[in-house]
């Protein structure tokens, strides 16, 4: 039974995983090269906004079962959970994974289990074997190697880490079994084992499926706009079919997973991934489409004062990484002189500019509200709310179909909803 674990990478996946192992009886060393991350954790804080994470990490640290350091030590198992971003030409950047694997070479001992968690291109786990063998040990004979990707939704990470079924791929069947046994420490979902290449493919399939589905929803939205049909009503009705599950149109696809993972497949098989690449093109063009749609909805206002509500890449997270809402704002900036930005959860922009959290103050004198991310605070906003009292105009432009248009209309607001019968005018600059 493995008792000591070293987790490399204390980000959105590595930190919850390290704390989960530590609070389930394992002795865990969390390793991160970012001194600020280590200092934050040692101060009993966490650098990520995830419900429940701070208290889980604090209890893991207080128990002494979780410690954090800048470099690994000898352990029975190693979990690599470092970033796998895209390079400048949309190629997978595996440098963090390779560096993490190289850093293990001095510490590996016979009987060790090495687990890759980072979402990676097909074949990565097998390629890691040659890096790990720089230790002089043989993968398969001396050490075991497996792939165990996460399937957790930001905002529900701790619950989903435990409850979700997990796919684990082994460099060898023995490695898959050993890895499955280790994750049964806290996973109550089913653990499904296979080979590493299949598990790598499965992970990429899951997020690519979502990206293609969202692209379809976004195209349906554009067609509905052109034909003055309510796309959301049509999608709800189509989803009544027992085998149809169309997702929601919006300003685009953000985050570091769904917008990234399809490129791992496209890079591996450029000639066999035309649909995948076309879906990426649709989703990447959606912020521009939505910006034109917003401008069309404001075309009758001279010198409008506009409030943007929601900058995070999705609802109820504070993460602005690759946010389509931020891209829409960038597209609007040179068309709207007075653009005020608010996010219910994030307190600063990617460039570090601080955001004013006082919504009432921000809305004072505003002609129109544009909702780009459907945080709960906005979904629950009543048209009678006093924070709206200082507005100069009564227009709400809802890019997420997240408010009750009938309720707001009856309260004297003019509501425009993306996908409900209005099409961007072609003359507006792209």
Could you give the CA distance from residue 45 to residue 15 in angstroms, rounded to a whole number? Answer: 12
Task: Compute CA 127 distance to the chain's CA centroid, rounded to the nearest angstrom.
Answer: 26
Confirm whether 314 is a catalytic residue. Answer: no
Pattern 276-315, ligand SAJ, x by CB under 6 A: -------------------------------------xx-
**Residue whose structure tokens are 């991350």:** 37
Pattern 135-174, ligand SAJ, x by CB under 6 A: ---------------xxxxx--------------------
Could you give the CA distance from residue 191 to residue 181 in angstroms, rounded to a whole number? Answer: 9
**φ and ψ at 86, to 5 degrees?**
-100, 145
Residue 259 Cβ vs ligand SAJ, minimum distance, rounded to whole Å: 7
Restricting to residues 11-40, which ones interact with ligand SAJ according to CB under 6 A?
A: 12-13
Count of residues in contact with ligand SAJ, rule CB under 6 A = 22
Residue 142 Cβ vs ligand SAJ, minimum distance, rounded to whole Å: 32
Pattern 380-409, ligand SAJ, x by CB under 6 A: ------------------------------
Coarse DSSP helix, strand, coil percentages of the chain, rounded to the nearest 5 percent: 40, 15, 45
Question: Could you tell me where the beta strands, DSSP code E, fall in 10-112?
Answer: 27-31, 66-69, 77-80
Closer by beta carbon to ligand SAJ, 127 or else 151: 151
Residue selected from 60, 97, 214, 396 as contacting ligand SAJ according to rule CB under 6 A: 214
Binding of ligand SAJ by 258 (CB under 6 A): yes
Could you give the CA distance from residue 405 to residue 398 in angstroms, rounded to a whole number? Answer: 9
Q: What is the DSSP letter of 190?
A: -
Binding of ligand SAJ by 90 (CB under 6 A): no
Binding of ligand SAJ by 344 (CB under 6 A): no
Task: Compute CA 275 distance to the chain's CA centroid, rounded to the nearest angstrom.
Answer: 22
Token output for 40: 């934050």
Binding of ligand SAJ by 257 (CB under 6 A): yes
Confirm whether 203 is a catalytic residue. Answer: yes
Could you tell me which residues come within 8 angstroms of residue 128 by beta carbon, excluding any fewer than 6 positions away? 97, 98, 101, 114, 116, 145
Catalytic residues: 203, 257
> Which chain residues interact with ligand SAJ by CB under 6 A?
12-13, 150-154, 206-207, 210, 214, 247-248, 250, 253-255, 257-258, 313-314, 324
């Amino acid at each position: 039974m493995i008792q000591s674990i070293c987790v490399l990478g204390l980000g959105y996946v590595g930190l919850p995983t390290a704390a989960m192992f530590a609070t389930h009886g394992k002795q865990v060393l969390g390793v991160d090269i970012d001194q600020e991350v280590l200092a934050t954790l040692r101060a009993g804080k966490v650098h990520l906004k995830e419900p429940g994470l701070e208290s889980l990490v604090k209890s893991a640290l207080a128990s002494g079962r979780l410690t954090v350091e800048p470099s690994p030590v000898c352990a029975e198992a190693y979990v690599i959970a470092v970033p796998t971003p895209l390079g400048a030409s949309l190629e997978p950047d595996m440098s963090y994974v390779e560096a993490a694997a190289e850093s293990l070479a001095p510490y590996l001992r016979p009987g060790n289990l090495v687990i890759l968690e980072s979402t990676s291109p097909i074949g990565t786990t097998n390629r890691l074997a040659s890096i790990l063998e720089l230790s002089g040990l043989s993968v398969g004979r001396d050490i075991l190697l497996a792939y165990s990707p996460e399937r957790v939704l930001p905002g529900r990470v701790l619950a989903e880490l435990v409850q979700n079924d997990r796919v684990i791929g082994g460099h060898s069947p023995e490695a898959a079994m050993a890895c499955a046994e280790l994750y049964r420490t806290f996973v109550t979902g089913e653990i499904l084992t296979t080979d590493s290449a299949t598990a790598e493919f499965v992970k990429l399939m899951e997020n690519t499926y979502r990206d293609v589905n969202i692209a379809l929803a976004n195209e349906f939205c554009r067609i509905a706009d052109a034909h003055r049909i309510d796309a959301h009503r049509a999608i709800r009705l189509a989803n009544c079919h027992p085998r149809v599950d169309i997702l929601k149109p919006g300003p685009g696809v953000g985050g570091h997973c769904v917008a990234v993972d399809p490129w791992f497949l496209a890079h591996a098989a450029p000639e066999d991934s035309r649909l995948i690449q076309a879906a990426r093109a649709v989703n990447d063009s959606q912020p521009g489409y939505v910006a034109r749609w917003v401008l069309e909805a404001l075309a009758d206002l001279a010198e409008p004062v506009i409030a943007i509500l929601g900058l995070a890449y999705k609802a109820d997270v504070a993460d602005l990484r690759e946010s389509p809402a931020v891209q829409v704002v960038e597209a609007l900036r040179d068309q709207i002189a007075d653009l005020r930005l608010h996010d219910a959860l994030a307190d600063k922009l990617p460039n570090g500019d601080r955001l004013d959290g006082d919504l009432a103050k921000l809305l004072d004198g505003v002609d129109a509200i544009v909702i780009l991310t459907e945080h709960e605070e906005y979904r629950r906003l009543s048209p009678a709310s006093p924070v709206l009292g200082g507005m100069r105009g009564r227009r709400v432009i809802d890019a997420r179909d997240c408010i009750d248009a009938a309720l707001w209309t009856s309260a004297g607001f003019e509501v425009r909803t993306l996908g409900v019968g209005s099409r961007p005018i072609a003359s507006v600059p792209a």
